[in-house]
Amino acid sequence: MKAVLGDTILAEAPREDLIRIEGNWYFPPASVKSELLEKSDTPYRCPWKGDCQYFSLRDGDVLLQDRAWSYPNPLPSSFDRVGKDYSNYVAFWKEAEIVE
């Protein structure tokens, strides 16, 4: 599967390597083109996953603020709910199309 923004592939991995959480596809860290993500200072804490790291995406000259996110150190109790360790997996907001 791929996360695509316009003509740019942000991440690509086999479907079985992705994790689906609350309707969002999370890509393994090694499958994400990290050079296309810029860390954001926007804070967020999910009550059951823990502290979130947001990223902004560069689309040409436009910076799309907080359009990707991950959980670098998720709460260990969330692994049971998700089914596996998803530390540093990255999900993308609606501007990025997820395709097979």
C-alpha closest to that of 90 among 62, 7, 35: 35
DSSP bridge pairs for 51: 45
Q: Name the average pLDDT for the chain.
A: 96
For the chain, report the end-to-end CA distance as a whole number of angstroms.
4
Q: What is the pLDDT of residue 61?
A: 85
Burial of 9 (0-12, 13-18, 19+ CB in 10 A): middle
Span 12-19, average pLDDT: 98
Q: What are the pLDDT digits (tens) for 30-75? A: 999 999 999 999 999 999 999 999 999 988 888 899 999 999 999 9
CA distance 66 to 56: 5
- Total count of domains within the chain: 1
The domain spanning residue 50 has which CATH number?
A: 2.170.150.40
| Residue range(s) defining the domain that contains residue 33 | 2-99
